[in-house]
Copies of this chain bind each other. A is one copy, B any other.
Amino acid sequence: MKNVAVLGYGVVGSGTVELFEKNRESISEKIGRDCDVKYIVDLRDFPGDPFEDRIIKDFNKVLEDDEIEVVAEVIGGLKPAYEFTKAALEKGKSVVTSNKELVAEKGAELLKIAHEHNVNYLFEASVGGGIPIIRPLNKCLAGNKIEQISGILNGTTNFILSKMIKDQMDFGTALRLAQELGYAEHDPTADVEGHDACRKICILGSLAYGKHIYPEKVHRSGISHITLEDVAYAENAGYAIKLIGSVKPAEDGKVSAIVSPRLVPKSNMLSSVDGVYNAIYVTGDGVGDVLFYGKGAGKLPTASAVVGDIIDCLKHKERSIMISWNDCTDDDYVVKYKTVENSMYVRIQADNADELKPAISELFGKLTYIERAGRPDNELAFITPTMVEGVIDEKLEQLSHSADIKSKIRLL
């Protein structure tokens, strides 16, 4: 049976076709029947491509072909992925995707459409690349109340931070290297400013807590303002700076979700996740902490997750696998980040900065000053006690009358 169509023949699309064809025999055995990729839909031409004869430009051909059971949407972005996905589901075809933007924006709606048509919408590849996380969270840990999900969800920023930490490369240089190596895009905003990580933590939080978390409701800060001075202070105090997405339940059935750089203690395994790797901690009331680690992006790792989902759809023809969450109309479902407690690393500049210590201690109570080799007289860094973030900001506002606040980074 030629029952699979792949939408988008870019990096992930070509990886998906490559891996599927390579392991097709064993995949057919697992499904218990024959399977193959019939169409690859892309507007571009690919002369000389080994699968050239399967490449078509018109998606309607997929929709109208009853042999197609599963559509792998690996176009990315909202348009035309959203329309294509909806149309395929409504035609009774399952859809699998690596498209985190679409799942984060339209997941609740598309899952509902899938259920109504007794097909599946699966998105293992949308978070953590090839790392199994969606299915483990939805199935294996289903007996738990999820107390927190927290992790390194973006390989590009982790590569840049690793280079800053290990090789004392500054942010700009590390970013350019990431671009040269193909880890960062020409416009790196989505990665560097935390949009990508934000979409992923929204997907995980929606799944874990049953209500759609929209990315625009989640406070997000990126890594472009982090300097080698911050890295040195953190290192010296036993921390590594990592871009962390996290989500956990808050009072009254709400959730707290945030994406930001954090000082991660060296004792935490997340601190030793280097390069383009991702790692995600899930804490459950039964299981305690479990960690999932692997390559969070890339052609074949992402294809691995897409193909795994294709197989699951082919195995469960005409059975809905029951992944779902509800839409969320409550504007206050995600609590304001300023009301959440955190401990904060702060770096300030002022003439004879050490003379400010009594005033700082008076503001924050018991805090920890940290050092770095060659700290100049006009610089000071400290870690605040754990307090409501809005209160920390008020105190820093007061401090800003006598010093420049150069950096503030949350602790994990």
Contact = CB atoms under 8 A, between A and B. Distances in A.
Contacts of A300: 285-288
Interface string A109-142: 0000000000000001000011110011001111
B290 A291 contact: no
The size bracket of the interface on A is 35 or more
Contacts of A307: 142-144, 286
Given A136-B135, A272-B272, A300-B287, A143 B19 contact: yes
Contact of A132 (B23, B136, B145): B136
B305 A294 contact: no
B132 A141 contact: yes
A86 interface: no
A143 B25 CA distance: 11
Contacts of A288: 130, 294-295, 298, 300-301
B143 A304 contact: yes
Contacts of A311: 139, 142-143
Interface in A296-334: 298, 300-301, 303-308, 310-312, 315, 319, 322
A286 B139 contact: no
Interface stretch (A26-34, A389-397, A404-412): A26-34
Contacts of A291: 291-294
Contact of A290 (B23, B141, B294): B294
Nearest to A301: B287
B23 A143 contact: yes
A304 B292 contact: no
Interface in A232-287: 269, 272, 284-287
A289 interface: yes
A20 interface: yes
A186 interface: no
A322 B315 CA distance: 8
Contact of A304 (B26, B287, B312): B287
Contact of A143 (B20, B269, B289): B20
Smallest CB-CB A-B distances: 4 pairs = A143-B307, A132-B140, A286-B304, A290-B294
Interface of A: 15, 19-20, 22-23, 26-27, 29-30, 32, 124, 129-132, 135-136, 139-145, 210, 269, 272, 284-295, 298, 300-301, 303-308, 310-312, 315, 319, 322
